[in-house]
Amino acid sequence: MRSTIKDRLMSLISWLGSILLALLVIAVGEWLPFMPAVQRFQEENPFINQLLTGVTLAMTVLGTLLLAFTQFLVRVPGPRAARRIQTIKTEGSVKGPGWFFSGKMISAGFSDEARFWRVREAFRDGEWWRVPRWRRMTLMMLGAILLFYGLFGLLILLFPPGVKFFLLLVVVYATVRTVYGFAVDQPSRESGDSSG
């Protein structure tokens, strides 16, 4: 009993610490001289602000569409893929306001994963466009990148200077961590990792 209370208390303290750190970063961003200058530049140049807002909205929508519909654009043939697909068929109608979901319903899902070193290898060997599995993964990665930068770019454009600074730090941190992981990831020796 004591350990669960202690764990919950430590979790709460950690959560509060993260919130306080985020608020501190936002406050520092408000006081930095270049952040209000960026805000003034945005206010003085509404055309540029509207153009950037349109670009980030387009990136966000395109990224969302790529993530949502790539599974339908690129078919991955083969017996291995057929076993991984889970299809559920049901018949009937939902009572109440759910009339929209009556009749036959079919859904399918898929999952795929690859280590960074394997993605690098696929790009180096040209598999990223030749092989349907890698084509799908490439389009989904492109969608995720567009959605991430588009959404954060839109938020950076819309929020006040302190929050802009915080979001900018989040984007820089995520970008650096991803690029670093992509650059240094290697196959693990003990597991004989050659999946892909």
pLDDT value of residue 74: 62
pLDDT value of residue 104: 55
pLDDT value of residue 46: 92
What CA–CA distance (Å, rounded) separates 108 from 101?
16
pTM: 0.72
Secondary structure element (H or E) that encloses residue 1, with its range: none
What CA–CA distance (Å, rounded) separates 87 from 60?
29
How confident is the prediction along the chain (196 residues), in pLDDT tens digits per residue?
Answer: 567 888 888 999 999 999 998 889 888 888 888 888 888 899 999 999 999 999 999 999 999 999 888 877 766 555 454 554 544 444 444 454 554 545 555 555 667 788 999 999 999 999 988 888 888 889 999 999 999 999 999 999 999 988 999 999 999 999 999 999 999 998 887 655 555 5
| Structure token digits, residue 185 | 């990831």
What CA–CA distance (Å, rounded) separates 138 from 108?
20
CB-CB contact of 187 with 120 (8 Å) = no
pLDDT value of residue 131: 87
User: Residue ranges of the alpha helices (H) in 32-45?
Assistant: 34-44
